[in-house]
Amino acid sequence: MMSVILWLVGIAFALFVIFAIIGAIIERKEAQQKQQQVTTKKVNCPNKPAKSLVQKLRDPDLKQSEPLDSKAPINDEKVDFSKKSHNQQLKEILDMVVETPPVKEPTVEPDIRFVTPHIEHRQANRSRYIKARKLSSAFTVIDFETTGLSPETSEIIQIGAVKYADGKIVDTFSSYIKPQFSKLSSRITNITGITEDMLVDAPIIQDVLPKFIEYIKCQTLVAHNASFDMKFLFSACDRCQINTDRFRVIDTLFLSRRLIGGVTNYKLETLKKELGLGTYKSHDALGDCYTTGILYLNCYQKAQ
């Protein structure tokens, strides 16, 4: 009888061990299937944007295993989470998140007196420049020194003008101009002798140009290589939104080529040296005005 009981107990124990092993295998397979489902879901949604730290903490379906974004701004205060539940940890992290308000960029109000030229305004000013066919003994010589050769990217840094009546000087105009959007290069300084120190306290073009336009109003203008000076004059007028009357312009470059021969070239500095047109400083706005005035009177006498 005792042996039968022991035999039954052995069978029961063996069955228990077998069922326990089978149960463990089934649980392991279920865990593997769940892991495969999660991996498949992530692969099928590669473009899904990652949640920010705040979105994850406010998501009611947040799981314990979902990682938090370590790059989110969090206060430096140290908190011991080892003895707190998962919900308590999330609540305390949420309280530490710093939501910074968007920073507004400062707005700079443009100077309404100095704007980018409009095409219509350019065309209107270009139509006010005509070449004078008849020479006159009453005229105003103009000359500009600039930061470069292009009126679109360079600025006037010196204005010069000499007014003549009956072939004689009656008035002059001269002013340095402080540049606003272009720099004075060492090359320009070497050519003109103008330095940054000479321009630091100079007036800006918006303050000088209206006075200059009034000064040359109704005058026949004379300039050497006049197209260069007129382009800079009209470009400055465009930026300052100044309308002008139609100017009559005489170019001594073309006039001297027609009336003067036997010179190396027709640069103003060359003509000054080879024709003995005075000793005024070259590449100085007012000095070049004096030289151009003498050159024009020379041509005027030859044309009579």
Instruction: Indicate which residues carry an active-site annotation.
Output: 283
What is the maximum alpha-carbon separation in the chain? 157
Place of tokens 């000087």: 169
Could you give the CA distance from residue 212 to residue 48 in angstroms, rounded to a whole number?
65
Q: Are 221 and 139 in contact (CB under 8 A)?
A: yes
The answer to whether the CB of 164 falls within 8 A of the CB of 140 is: yes
Residue 82 CB contacts under 8 Å (≥ 6 apart), including other chains? none
